Amino acid sequence: MYNEYKYFMEYIKTEIDGLWLIEPKVLSDSRGYFMESYKKAEFDQTIGQVDFIQENESESTFGVFRGLHFQAGEAAQAKLVKVIRGKVWDIAVDIRKNSVTFGKYVAVELSEENKRQFFISRGFAHGFLVLSETAIFAYKTDNGYYPAHERIINCLDPDLAIELPLDLSLISMSEKDRQGKRLIEIETI
């Protein structure tokens, strides 16, 4: 029975180990659409076992950048992220100190139109920039939120050289995110 549904999602490895782009097969007609957005058995067989324990949702307006966030130590989180409404530029930065891709990033566009999801394993900082008037962003995590373990890297860290698709004058960040440190200043995983 499992193989019968195997092709409802395409799992695409990115150039950095631990990051996956997931593209669902969307069945559309005049009534609307249907798609599978998560199937544990298929996910576990392709990416590996991840036990998601929480799902979160946020709404943000155009130009808002949230991140780059991660939790250190045993509080680290894997995330499966997607956009329900709108469009974002989603970014994951490798912060695994022994990784050959340490400090490198992958950025992908997630939108209500493309319905892509982005899997981010533990060992990455994560953030997103809203490209539409508003965006509703949802994500599953495999660990809870522990404020004492939260760390923030400033997305404008010159060592990361993250290319953003908006002019800096249009980008809005919380004070906490604006005060984020440079990658070389933080405790990495």
Active-site residue flag, 139: yes
Which pLDDT value is given to residue 1?
Answer: 40
| Residues 6 or more apart in contact with residue 26 via CB below 8 angstroms | 33, 34, 35, 115
For the CA atoms of 47, 105, 175, 56, what is the dihedral angle to 10 degrees?
A: -10
Q: Which CATH class is domain 2-185?
A: mainly beta
Task: Give the chain's residues under pLDDT 70.
Answer: 1-7, 188-189
Which pLDDT value is given to residue 96?
Answer: 95
Which pLDDT value is given to residue 189?
Answer: 60
Strand order in the sheet with 134-141: 9-13, 19-24, 117-120, 79-85, 134-141, 54-61
Which pLDDT value is given to residue 95?
Answer: 96
Q: What angle do CA 160, 110, 119 make, to 5 degrees?
A: 70
> What tokens does 13 get?
């490895």
Q: Quick check: 114 and 149 in contact, CB under 8 A?
A: no
Which pLDDT value is given to residue 2?
Answer: 44
**pTM listed for this prediction:** 0.91
Which pLDDT value is given to residue 154?
Answer: 96
Which pLDDT value is given to residue 20?
Answer: 97
Catalytic, out of 7, 38, 69, 126:
69
pLDDT tens per residue across span 120-132: 999 999 999 999 9
| Residues 6 or more apart in contact with residue 146 via CB below 8 angstroms | 71, 75
Q: Quick check: 111 and 83 in contact, CB under 8 A?
A: yes
Active-site residue flag, 145: no
Which pLDDT value is given to residue 164?
Answer: 96
What does the alpha-carbon distance between residue 63 and residue 37 come to, in Å, rounded to a whole number? 27
Domain range summary for the chain, segments of one domain joined by +: 2-185
Catalytic, out of 5, 105, 139, 146:
139
Which pLDDT value is given to residue 5?
Answer: 47
Whether the bond between 160 and the residue before it is cis, its omega within 30 degrees of 0, is: no
